[in-house]
């Protein structure tokens, strides 16, 4: 709502104005017009298997191609049956032989105003390094890793490192209580906890490690804890 000069309150919930992007920006768009968008939308709605199958083949790297896009046995669904890929590889490695290698992959600004920019090459190095740390800690394919961290670059690094080695990460909101963390660790049978000593939220530093310490007393499956 917006206060007018006459003391009335004007509602701006209904907005009919159109704000077109600059032509030079629009020229670089993946979808060039509303007509093209609507055609894609209709195809995705009416023929989802063909739509997602084509995009998966074109946009992702597959170590082994899938033989079937969707196998639906209600209520269970399997996508890209027979295919083998890696999300970490698709996010990082496949860009390293292209001009994107030295372009920004992650741009971060912290609450106090601190900033970090990681290129695809730099992010790849950090992810590989932490993936090796996970393996040294005994984390294997299929193991569950619990992540309780603030919104920092290391959060994305931890997630991609888990995906790289086939571990399953469970991200827990950094405002949850120790009881909520313990419940999620128990449900996932988490083997490793990743956290930070603290993190900014709404102008305050939250003592994340203290909360995790309390949760770990009730998390018997967690064998080790990594702290940023």
* Whether residues 113 and 133 fall in one domain: yes
* Whether residues 129 and 65 fall in one domain: no
* Whether residues 91 and 190 fall in one domain: yes
* Whether residues 195 and 99 fall in one domain: yes
* Whether residues 130 and 199 fall in one domain: yes
Strands (E), 8-67: 9-10
Q: Over the Cα atoms of the chain, what is R_g?
A: 22
16 in any annotated domain: no
174 in any annotated domain: yes
More confident residue, 195 or 10: 195
25 in any annotated domain: no
Number of domains comprising the chain: 2
Strands 224-227 and 192-195: parallel
* Whether residues 102 and 55 fall in one domain: no
What's the confidence (pLDDT) of residue 6?
A: 58
Going by C-beta distance under 8 Å and a sequence separation of 6 or more, which residues neighbour residue 85?
60, 61, 62, 63
Distance (Å) of CA 18 to CA 15, 21, 36: 9, 10, 18
pLDDT tops 90 at residue 143: yes
Looking at 23, 50, 85, the residue that finishes a domain is: 85
> The domain that contains 170 carries what CATH number?
3.40.50.980
- Is residue 167 within 8 A of residue 144, CB to CB? The reply is yes
1 in any annotated domain: no
Question: What is the spatial distance between Cα 186 and Cα 184, in angstroms, rounded to a whole number?
Answer: 5
What's the confidence (pLDDT) of residue 176?
A: 92
* Whether residues 188 and 77 fall in one domain: no
* Whether residues 81 and 91 fall in one domain: no
Mean pLDDT across the stretch 127-131?
A: 98
What's the confidence (pLDDT) of residue 111?
A: 87
Share of residues in the chain with pLDDT > 90 (%): 79
- Is residue 153 within 8 A of residue 118, CB to CB? The reply is yes
Per-residue tokens: 227 = 């702290």
Per-residue pLDDT tens over the stretch 144-203: 999 999 999 999 999 999 999 999 999 999 989 999 999 999 999 999 999 999 988 888
- Is residue 205 within 8 A of residue 199, CB to CB? The reply is yes
More confident residue, 11 or 44: 44
Residue 1 confidence class, pLDDT cut points 50, 70, 90: low
* Whether residues 72 and 163 fall in one domain: no
8 in any annotated domain: no
Mean pLDDT across the stretch 222-227?
A: 96
* Whether residues 130 and 218 fall in one domain: yes
60 in any annotated domain: yes
Looking at 51, 85, 119, the residue that finishes a domain is: 85
Looking at 65, 85, 105, the residue that finishes a domain is: 85
* Whether residues 194 and 109 fall in one domain: yes
Domain of 125 in residue numbering reads as: 86-228
Question: What is the spatial distance between Cα 187 and Cα 69, in angstroms, rounded to a whole number?
Answer: 30
24 in any annotated domain: no
More confident residue, 200 or 217: 217
Per-residue pLDDT tens over the stretch 17-68: 888 889 899 889 988 888 999 999 999 999 999 999 999 999 999 999 999 9
* Whether residues 223 and 152 fall in one domain: yes
What's the confidence (pLDDT) of residue 2?
A: 53
6 in any annotated domain: no
Say what the pTM is.
0.84
User: Is the peptide bond preceding residue 75 cis, with omega within 30 degrees of 0?
Assistant: yes
What's the confidence (pLDDT) of residue 5?
A: 54
H-assigned helices in 76-197: 87-91, 120-136, 153-165, 178-188
Per-residue pLDDT tens over the stretch 89-124: 999 999 999 999 999 999 999 988 899 999 999 999
């Amino acid at each position: 709502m917006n206060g007018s000069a006459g003391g009335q309150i004007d509602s701006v919930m209904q907005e009919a104005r159109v704000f077109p992007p600059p032509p030079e920006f629009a020229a670089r768009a993946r979808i060039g017009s509303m007509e093209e968008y609507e055609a894609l939308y209709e195809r995705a709605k009416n023929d989802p298997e063909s739509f997602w199958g084509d995009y998966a083949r074109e946009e992702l790297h597959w170590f082994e191609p899938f033989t079937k896009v969707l196998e639906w046995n209600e209520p269970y669904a399997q996508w890209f049956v027979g295919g083998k890929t890696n999300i970490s590889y698709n996010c990082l490695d496949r860009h390293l032989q292209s001009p994107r290698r030295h372009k920004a992959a992650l741009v971060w600004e912290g609450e106090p105003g601190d900033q970090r920019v990681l290129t695809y090459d730099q992010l790849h190095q950090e992810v590989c390094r932490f993936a090796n740390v996970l393996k040294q800690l005994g984390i294997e394919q299929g193991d569950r890793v619990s992540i309780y961290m603030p919104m920092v670059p290391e959060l994305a690094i931890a997630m991609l490192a888990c995906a790289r080695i086939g571990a399953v990460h469970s991200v827990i909101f950094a405002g949850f209580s120790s009881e909520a963390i313990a419940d999620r660790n128990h449900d996932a049978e988490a083997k490793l906890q990743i956290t930070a000593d603290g993190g900014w939220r709404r102008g305050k530093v939250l003592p994340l490690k203290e909360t995790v310490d309390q949760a770990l007393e009730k998390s018997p499956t967690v064998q080790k804890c990594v702290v940023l």
